[in-house]
Chain A
Amino acid sequence: MADPALVVWMGQTEGVSSLAADLARILGENAVLHEDAALRAYDCDAYTVDRSKPQAVVLPSSTEEVAKIVRYCVGAGVPYTVRGAGTGLSGGALAALGGVTLSTKRLNKILSVDPENRRLTAEAGVANKRISDVVRPYGLHFAPDPSSQTVSTLGGNIAENSGGPHTLKMGVTVQHIHALKMVTVDGEIEEFALRGDGLDFLGVIVGSEGTMGVVTEATVRLTPSPKHVITALASFANVRDATESVAAIIASGTLPAALEMMDKGVLGALKAAFGLEYHPAAAALLLVECDGDDAQAVEAEMQAVRQAFGRHAALEVQIAEDDAARAKLWVARKKGVGAMGRLAPSIVTHDGVIPRSELPEMLEFIYAEASAAGLGVANLFHAGDGNLHPCFYFDDRDPGQVERVIETGERIMRRCLELGGSVTGEHGIGVEKIDLMSEMFSPADLAVQGLVKSIFNPGDLCNPCKVLPNQKSCAEHRKRWRGVAW
C-alpha cells in the first residue's frame, strides 16, 4: 500500500497547481518552475534510463530558502530531491516519487577563499572546476576531478563522493572536505566538520547521495599544485600487457597521480570521431602521470613506470614534461567518452571496482561477455584503483540489444563482487544499482545501513527510493519510471 500522502503528489494536477502556488508564495514566482516543458527537463539526470518528473522545481538562492522549502515539504508530506548540474550517472537526482526538485543552480557563490589555510568555502551549486580556477593563482587546486568537472557541482560531488583520474593519489571527495552545512530533514540548518574526537558524521554524509539532508555549503581542502609533473602515454599490442603493467607499477611501490587505461574500442572511436591515430599495432594505451615538488623523486617514479612498460613489451612511450605536450597526451583520455557517443545510437557506461591485481582477468571476462552477447564494448577507466568503466555501444531501437546490455552489465557487476570488489566506484547506487545492493550486502548489512541513514533521515521524503532497496512506497512507483526512456 502506498502512503496516501505520497499518492497525492503523483500526477494530480489539482495538487500540483496548489503546490506550485505555495512554493511561489515562499520563494517568489521567479524561483519556481512548474510548466510541463520545464518539468520534463528535470525528469532524469545523466542516467537517462529511468525518468520521473517532479511536480515543481524550485531554485532557492540561500541556505535559509532551502530550509523554508524543506519545512514546507515536510509539513505538506511532499517528497523532495536535491539536484546539482544533473550529471549524475545513477539517477541520484531522479524525482522518484515526484514532488519537488530542489535545484542548487542559484547557490552559486564562492563565499571565502583562504589560501594561507588552503581552504575555500562555497555554496553547493558552484561547479567543481570553478573552485580550482579561482585558487590557481595561489598555486592550489581542488583535487577531486570527475570527468564532468566543468559543470558538475560541489554539492553533487559531495553527494556522490566523486572521484576522477587524479584521485588515485589524492583521494576522493571525502578526503577533501573540511566542513559542510546541511539542511536536515526537519528543516534545521546544521554544520558538520572534521573532528578529532567523536563520530565521523562528515564521513558518512559525504557519499550519501543526497538522502540524509540537503547540503548547501562546504569548506573544502585545497591541495598545493605539484611543481613537477611528468606524463607518459604508452601503447601496447595487447590488453594483458597493459593491465599487467598497471599491476607492476603499483607493486613497485609507485603511486602515480593518475593511471588511466584506454582499449582498442576507445582507440577506434577516437579515430572515427576525431581522426586521432595512435600506434598502428596498439590494442591499449596507458596514461600515467607522476607529480611532486621534488624533481628527482618525480623522475625516479617515472623511471619505475618506464621499467614496468619495458618489461611488458610497450610498443611506444611518449613523454610530456610541459603543459602543451601534456594536453596532447591527455586528448585520448579526455575525448574518449565523447568519441564513443558517435559509435552507435546509444551507449551505456558501467562503473565497477575490483582489487587492481585482478584487472587482467577482469578485462578478459568483459571482452568474452560482450562478444557472447554480440555487443560492442570499449574500456576507458581508472586502472590504478581498479575502477572499471566498460562502455557498451548498441542500438536502443532494438529491444533485444537493450536486454542484452542490461544482462551483460549485471554479469560484469557480479564478477566484480566475486573478485572482492564493488558495484560502484564513483557513480553511486542511485536507482540504477539498487537491485545489486542485495547482491553485495546481506539483509542484515542493508538493515544496518538503514540505521545509518536514519540517524539523519528516519522518514521517506528526502530523496526517496535511492541507495537502499525495498523502501516503502517505492516498488510500485518504480514500475512507472523504470525504463521509460526505452
Chain B
Amino acid sequence: MKSIAELAERVRLTDRVQTHPMGSRFLEGSPEAWDFSALPTVLIAYPADQVVTVSTHLSLDEIQSELNRTGQWIPFVPGVATGLPDHASLRGFLDTRLPHPAVGTFGSWRDWVLGATVVLASGEVVKSGCRAVKSVAGFDLHKLVLGARGKLGIITEVHLRTWPLASRVEGESRTAPHGLWVAQCPFSRVDAWREALGDRCLEHDALSGQFWGTGEVPAGADWVWHEGQPLPEDRWTRRALELFDPTGKLN
C-alpha cells in the first residue's frame, strides 16, 4: 500500500482487515496485520503552536526524535506499561489509549488528540477536528476512535498537542509482567490501595491517583484498563460497532 487512497480501496473491497501492529503484547500483535510501512509519511511539527501533524504508522520513538529537533516532545512517559518494541506504531498507542504514569502532569491521549484522519470500514476517508488547540465544531469522531481497538476505523493521521522539551520527564521503559492493569483510584483510597497492593504496585501517579499493578484490583476503582481486554459489550458499544462496521470487518 503506497497511499491512503490505496489503503482505503483495499479496506472497501475486503471483508476482513487486521490492523494491529505486530510485536507487542499490549497491542494484540498479530502476524496477519496489514503492513503500513510503505504508506507516505507525514510529520509536520508546528513548534510555535505546540502541535504536530503525524502519520500513525510511524513509531512513537521516530516521532519523538523528529520532534525533539524542534524543541518539542509528546509527554508520553515510558513506564512499566510501555514495554513496547521500537517499531510499535503511534496507532497502537491510540487504538488502546495506552496509559502512562505522568498523566497527572500532562494528561494523556484523550487530551492530546486534536483531530484525526480515519479510514472507515466503508473505505471512506474522513477527517475530524482540526489542528487548533481548541475547537467545538461538530461531533468528535477523533474522541470516539481513541481506544476503539481499530474497530470503528483505521486512524491514519492525527493532530497532537506537543510540549516544550524543557518539560521532559525521563521515564524508563520496562517489560511488564503478565496480567498488568492500570486503574483509577479515588484519592481517599490511595493509602489503602498502597497497603493492599504492596509489591504488586508497579507504578503510581500521585497527581492523578492512577495505579499500575498485577493480580487482583483493589476495591473501589473508578475504572480499570486491562491488558488485551476486548471492548466492553454494552448497548452503546454494540450500537457504535453496528453503525460503523456493520459487517464486522475491522479487527
Known: A197-B147, A357-B46. A420 touches B223 (CB 8 A): no
The 7 A-B pairs at the shortest CB distance, nearest first, are namely: A253-B164, A196-B225, A422-B135, A357-B48, A203-B143, A355-B49, A353-B132
> From residue 168 to 226 of chain A, which have CB atoms closer than 8 A to chain B?
171-172, 175, 178, 193-201, 203-204, 207-208
Contact pick for A201, options B167, B229, B236, CB 8 Å: B236
**B138 and A429 contact, CB distance less than 8 A:** yes
- CA–CA, A163 and B132, complex, Å: 14
Known: A199-B148, A199-B236, A444-B125. A421 touches B136 (CB 8 A): no
5 chain-A/chain-B pairs, Cβ below 8 angstroms: A196-B184, A197-B226, A198-B234, A199-B152, A446-B138
Query: In the complex, which residues of chain A have a beta carbon less than 8 angstroms from the beta carbon of B54?
Result: none
Is residue A448 within 8 Å, beta carbon to beta carbon, of the partner chain? yes
Is residue A449 within 8 Å, beta carbon to beta carbon, of the partner chain? yes
7 further A-B contacts with Cβ under 8 Å, apart from A196-B224, A199-B231, A356-B49, are: A163-B134, A171-B107, A196-B183, A203-B146, A387-B134, A420-B130, A448-B126
**B222 and A453 contact, CB distance less than 8 A:** no
**A456 and B223 contact, CB distance less than 8 A:** no
Query: In the complex, which residues of chain B have a beta carbon less than 8 angstroms from the beta carbon of A114?
Result: 188
- CA–CA, A171 and B131, complex, Å: 16
Q: From A451, which residue of chain B is reached at the shortest CB distance? A: B243
Q: How far is the CB of A464 from chain B (nearest CB, A)?
A: 15
Is residue A354 within 8 Å, beta carbon to beta carbon, of the partner chain? yes
Q: How far is the CB of A210 from chain B (nearest CB, A)?
A: 12
Q: From B221, which residue of chain A is reached at the shortest CB distance? A: A196
- CA–CA, A429 and B136, complex, Å: 8
- CA–CA, A171 and B118, complex, Å: 25
- CA–CA, A99 and B9, complex, Å: 45
**B137 and A424 contact, CB distance less than 8 A:** yes
**A198 and B232 contact, CB distance less than 8 A:** yes
Is residue B127 within 8 Å, beta carbon to beta carbon, of the partner chain? yes
Is residue A160 within 8 Å, beta carbon to beta carbon, of the partner chain? yes
Query: In the complex, which residues of chain A have a beta carbon less than 8 angstroms from the beta carbon of B17?
Result: none
Is residue B166 within 8 Å, beta carbon to beta carbon, of the partner chain? yes
- CA–CA, A109 and B229, complex, Å: 38
Is residue B187 within 8 Å, beta carbon to beta carbon, of the partner chain? yes
Query: In the complex, which residues of chain B have a beta carbon less than 8 angstroms from the beta carbon of A204?
Result: 139-140, 143-144
Is residue A312 within 8 Å, beta carbon to beta carbon, of the partner chain? no
* Binding stretch for chain B, among A42-50, A120-128, A434-442: A434-442
**A445 and B134 contact, CB distance less than 8 A:** no
- CA–CA, A386 and B184, complex, Å: 33
- CA–CA, A178 and B208, complex, Å: 13
Query: In the complex, which residues of chain A have a beta carbon less than 8 angstroms from the beta carbon of B225?
Result: 196-197
- CA–CA, A428 and B186, complex, Å: 32
Q: From B135, which residue of chain A is reached at the shortest CB distance? A: A422
Known: A197-B231, A198-B237, A455-B236. A386 touches B133 (CB 8 A): yes
- CA–CA, A290 and B107, complex, Å: 19
**A386 and B138 contact, CB distance less than 8 A:** no
Q: From A201, which residue of chain B is reached at the shortest CB distance? A: B236
Q: How far is the CB of B137 from chain A (nearest CB, A)?
A: 5
Query: In the complex, which residues of chain A have a beta carbon less than 8 angstroms from the beta carbon of B132?
Result: 353-355, 385-386, 420-422, 425
Is residue B51 within 8 Å, beta carbon to beta carbon, of the partner chain? yes
Q: From B226, which residue of chain A is reached at the shortest CB distance? A: A197
Is residue B83 within 8 Å, beta carbon to beta carbon, of the partner chain? no
Is residue A26 within 8 Å, beta carbon to beta carbon, of the partner chain? no
**B138 and A437 contact, CB distance less than 8 A:** yes
Query: In the complex, which residues of chain A have a beta carbon less than 8 angstroms from the beta carbon of B223?
Result: 193-197
> From residue 427 to 484 of chain A, which have CB atoms closer than 8 A to chain B?
427-429, 433, 437, 440-442, 444-449, 451-456, 467-468
- CA–CA, A355 and B114, complex, Å: 12
> From residue 130 to 174 of chain B, which have CB atoms closer than 8 A to chain A?
130-141, 143-144, 146-148, 152, 163-167
Is residue A251 within 8 Å, beta carbon to beta carbon, of the partner chain? yes
> From residue 326 to 366 of chain A, which have CB atoms closer than 8 A to chain B?
353-357
**B229 and A197 contact, CB distance less than 8 A:** yes
Known: A194-B222, A194-B223, A357-B49. A200 touches B144 (CB 8 A): yes
**A455 and B222 contact, CB distance less than 8 A:** no
Is residue A27 within 8 Å, beta carbon to beta carbon, of the partner chain? no
Interface-central residue, B50, B125, B231, by most chain A CB under 10 Å = B50
Contact pick for B111, options A161, A175, A354, CB 8 Å: A175
Q: How far is the CB of B42 from chain A (nearest CB, A)?
A: 14
**B139 and A353 contact, CB distance less than 8 A:** no
Q: From B232, which residue of chain A is reached at the shortest CB distance? A: A198
Q: How far is the CB of B106 from chain A (nearest CB, A)?
A: 11
Is residue B128 within 8 Å, beta carbon to beta carbon, of the partner chain? yes
Q: From B48, which residue of chain A is reached at the shortest CB distance? A: A357
> From residue 58 to 95 of chain B, which have CB atoms closer than 8 A to chain A?
none
**B138 and A440 contact, CB distance less than 8 A:** yes
Is residue B239 within 8 Å, beta carbon to beta carbon, of the partner chain? yes
Contact pick for B137, options A203, A440, A448, A455, CB 8 Å: A440
Q: From B231, which residue of chain A is reached at the shortest CB distance? A: A198
Is residue B32 within 8 Å, beta carbon to beta carbon, of the partner chain? no
Is residue A106 within 8 Å, beta carbon to beta carbon, of the partner chain? no
**B134 and A353 contact, CB distance less than 8 A:** yes
Query: In the complex, which residues of chain B have a beta carbon less than 8 angstroms from the beta carbon of A448?
Result: 118, 120, 124, 126, 128, 141
Is residue B5 within 8 Å, beta carbon to beta carbon, of the partner chain? no
Contact pick for A452, options B48, B140, B166, B229, CB 8 Å: B140
- CA–CA, A252 and B167, complex, Å: 11
Query: In the complex, which residues of chain B have a beta carbon less than 8 angstroms from the beta carbon of A197?
Result: 147, 223-226, 229, 231-232
- CA–CA, A422 and B133, complex, Å: 10
Q: How far is the CB of B197 from chain A (nearest CB, A)?
A: 17
Known: A196-B182, A196-B223, A196-B224. A449 touches B139 (CB 8 A): yes
- CA–CA, A175 and B166, complex, Å: 24
- CA–CA, A467 and B229, complex, Å: 35
**A356 and B137 contact, CB distance less than 8 A:** no
- CA–CA, A423 and B137, complex, Å: 7
**A117 and B236 contact, CB distance less than 8 A:** no
**A420 and B107 contact, CB distance less than 8 A:** no
- CA–CA, A155 and B130, complex, Å: 25
- CA–CA, A193 and B132, complex, Å: 27
Is residue A116 within 8 Å, beta carbon to beta carbon, of the partner chain? yes
Is residue B110 within 8 Å, beta carbon to beta carbon, of the partner chain? yes
Q: How far is the CB of B112 from chain A (nearest CB, A)?
A: 11
**B136 and A160 contact, CB distance less than 8 A:** yes
Known: A355-B51, A442-B126. A171 touches B111 (CB 8 A): yes
Query: In the complex, which residues of chain A have a beta carbon less than 8 angstroms from the beta carbon of B131?
Result: 355, 420-421
Q: How far is the CB of A347 from chain B (nearest CB, A)?
A: 22
**A207 and B126 contact, CB distance less than 8 A:** no
Query: In the complex, which residues of chain B have a beta carbon less than 8 angstroms from the beta carbon of A440?
Result: 130, 137-138
